[in-house]
Chains A and B, each alone.
Chain A
């Protein structure tokens, strides 16, 4: 047995230590931010904080929570995540069913799937897209955050692969009993598809929560920004103009601890759904990539 040999045991110890170290490197930056956010301003500004708070303080969180623009951006993000995810789910669920059919059962399938694939591999680029958004009047509207991303071909493929795994007999039995395709989809397929619906919902939620560029591009008024866009302007660009001109609030963004608190609040929902997500995405990922 190879794992009883001395050489392998030495390798095993080194290997385990090395990988644990690597894994820690993936979360140490987050722990550092968390520690900074709970530290006193003076300690953080002097770069004294490592992985544990220095002079524990809740000041940064108090200031963050007292900023009405920050709170409103959270509300925008919550709305967009709920509406966007709901819309994506409905559209994906409806579209995947006919696309999962055999070519013989649904002649138009080929045309539709080519349209989907084409939209995935080719696009007009940023500028024509920007002009279309302008033309249809979505500029500066909340809906610009929700509508453009509603159809995601990758998610449709994920869903239709799941549908293909469902035994044909179920559909046939339902159709023989006199149900139409809509009825079959919603009363037979819906309950058994819950795991894959959950996968798609979680992917979509993560997408909406993390999206920041659309807000930056299509919204001129920073009061409408979703959280990710707000964080982008305040933390990355360190741009004062997206805060109100109130000097007290301007002071906020220059502070390391407040920045850290904002980053952590921005990451928190992901950290919360992550354990639920993990159960599903491994399956989703392998489903989407390996297939016969």
Chain B
């Protein structure tokens, strides 16, 4: 009681946040029982029949859902690799530019796409990447045949990964630039005296210094391996590329919201949330162990 007397303002301050968390986060968690039901909207959760693990069995038996899980993994893993590698190289190259105003200008421009939504960028890309669009005109003038970037199963994943890297590489560079700024200059001076050229300095000082940051960003990304980017795919795809481009989140939207298979949709969602949670917890504990990173 004595502690409550002292800490009641704290509880009161947390009250609004807690109300929102309970309504929009914890109550929906209760709804996952639908994953074990043959949910019918008119019967509600209380009246719908229990079907045990049928929805999950169905998930692993359906060809399209296995393809979707596969697509999700491929797209997400490739995005993870390129969203780590490209900013890493870009940060090192940017760091070599001595003229501060050029460096700043480049930074300002490359950060920008991160803040625009996939609706805006999707609208732009649908026109730019069309078979008669700007990009294909340029390719055409170089003698290439037009490429149907967003309507061809062989090109769609490539396009998705490329445009995602294009949108995010600048923003992802920030943490590496911060780490670069933290490197002790006397290391470079010492290497210089020892006769190391710039490449050797980069190889033996810059890259190892960035390594902890690569580990942190890489491990934290692990928790996202089932998030292949709903916003992007939803705004770029079309029935022509469902085969190679459909991911768990877009699949859930189509099966559950558009086709009304609510129980099945919830089961896929639960499958995804559960695996994601395990991966996030693992990745956070690894990041803590390897790089001393903690969130709270």
Given A127-B34, A185-B13, A235-B123, A8 and B23 contact (CB-CB distance below 8 Å): no
Chain A residue nearest to B191 in the complex (CB): A2
- Does residue B266 face the partner (Cβ distance < 8 Å to A)? yes
Q: Is the interface of A mostly helix, strand, loop or mixed?
A: helix
Contacts of B272 in A (CB 8 A): 125
Asked if residues A108 and B119 are in contact (CB atoms below 8 Å), the reply is no
The CA-CA distance from A147 to B116 in the complex, in Å, is 22
- Does residue A210 face the partner (Cβ distance < 8 Å to B)? yes
Query: Would you give the 0/1 interface string for A82-121, flagging 1 where the beta carbon is closer than 8 Å to chain B?
Result: 0000000011101101110100001111001101110101
Which of A54-62, A64-72, A239-247, A270-278 is the contact stretch? Answer: A270-278
Residue in B14, B115, B216 whose beta carbon sits within 8 Å of that of A274 in the complex: B115
- Does residue B185 face the partner (Cβ distance < 8 Å to A)? no
Asked if residues A23 and B124 are in contact (CB atoms below 8 Å), the reply is no
- Does residue B31 face the partner (Cβ distance < 8 Å to A)? yes
Chain B residue nearest to A150 in the complex (CB): B20
The CA-CA distance from A126 to B234 in the complex, in Å, is 15
Residue in B29, B122, B175 whose beta carbon sits within 8 Å of that of A128 in the complex: B29
Asked if residues B110 and A231 are in contact (CB atoms below 8 Å), the reply is no
Asked if residues A236 and B123 are in contact (CB atoms below 8 Å), the reply is yes
Chain B residue nearest to A235 in the complex (CB): B123
**Minimum distance in angstroms from B207 CB to a CB of chain A:** 16
Asked if residues B25 and A119 are in contact (CB atoms below 8 Å), the reply is yes
Asked if residues A98 and B30 are in contact (CB atoms below 8 Å), the reply is no
- Does residue A148 face the partner (Cβ distance < 8 Å to B)? yes
Asked if residues B281 and A263 are in contact (CB atoms below 8 Å), the reply is no
Given A136-B23, A286-B174, A101 and B235 contact (CB-CB distance below 8 Å): no
Contacts of A2 in B (CB 8 A): 192, 197-198, 201
- Does residue B58 face the partner (Cβ distance < 8 Å to A)? no
Asked if residues B111 and A278 are in contact (CB atoms below 8 Å), the reply is yes
The CA-CA distance from A36 to B132 in the complex, in Å, is 15
Contacts of A198 in B (CB 8 A): none
**Minimum distance in angstroms from B256 CB to a CB of chain A:** 5
Contacts of A148 in B (CB 8 A): 24
Q: Which of B58-106 contact A (CB under 8 A)?
A: 90, 93-94, 96-99, 102, 105-106
**Minimum distance in angstroms from A252 CB to a CB of chain B:** 15
Contacts of B123 in A (CB 8 A): 231, 235-236, 259, 262-263, 266
**Minimum distance in angstroms from A81 CB to a CB of chain B:** 13
Asked if residues A98 and B13 are in contact (CB atoms below 8 Å), the reply is yes
Asked if residues B235 and A121 are in contact (CB atoms below 8 Å), the reply is no
Query: Would you give the 0/1 interface string for A215-252, flagging 1 where the beta carbon is closer than 8 Å to chain B?
Result: 00100000000001001100110000000000000000
Which of B153-161, B239-247, B288-296 is the contact stretch? Answer: B288-296
Residue in A106, A212, A228, A231 whose beta carbon sits within 8 Å of that of B7 in the complex: A106
Given A1-B192, A15-B97, A90-B16, A128 and B34 contact (CB-CB distance below 8 Å): yes
The CA-CA distance from A235 to B125 in the complex, in Å, is 11
**Minimum distance in angstroms from A157 CB to a CB of chain B:** 6
Asked if residues B257 and A128 are in contact (CB atoms below 8 Å), the reply is no
Residue in A20, A29, A95, A124 whose beta carbon sits within 8 Å of that of B14 in the complex: A95
**Minimum distance in angstroms from B94 CB to a CB of chain A:** 6
Asked if residues B9 and A180 are in contact (CB atoms below 8 Å), the reply is yes
The CA-CA distance from A20 to B96 in the complex, in Å, is 13
Residue in B117, B128, B231, B256 whose beta carbon sits within 8 Å of that of A127 in the complex: B256
Asked if residues A228 and B119 are in contact (CB atoms below 8 Å), the reply is yes
Asked if residues B124 and A33 are in contact (CB atoms below 8 Å), the reply is yes
Chain B residue nearest to A30 in the complex (CB): B124
Contacts of B209 in A (CB 8 A): none
The CA-CA distance from A176 to B262 in the complex, in Å, is 57
Contacts of A217 in B (CB 8 A): 257
- A selection of 30 A-B contacts at a CB cut-off of 8 Å is A2-B197, A5-B197, A19-B94, A20-B102, A26-B112, A95-B14, A98-B13, A107-B7, A117-B296, A121-B280, A122-B273, A122-B276, A124-B31, A125-B28, A125-B266, A125-B272, A126-B249, A126-B253, A128-B32, A131-B34, A132-B28, A136-B23, A147-B24, A150-B20, A181-B9, A206-B115, A210-B117, A213-B234, A270-B116, A271-B112
- Given A5-B197, A147-B20, 19 further pairs, Cβ under 8 A: A92-B17, A94-B13, A109-B10, A112-B18, A116-B17, A119-B25, A122-B273, A125-B270, A126-B249, A126-B252, A126-B265, A127-B262, A132-B28, A150-B20, A151-B25, A271-B112, A281-B111, A282-B178, A289-B216
- Chain B interface (Cβ < 8 Å from any Cβ of A): 3, 7, 9-11, 13-14, 16-18, 20-21, 23-32, 34, 45, 90, 93-94, 96-99, 102, 105-106, 108-113, 115-117, 119-128, 132-134, 137, 166, 170-171, 174-175, 178-179, 192, 197-198, 201, 213, 216-217, 223, 230-231, 234-235, 249, 252-253, 256-257, 262, 265-266, 268-270, 272-274, 276-277, 280-281, 292-296
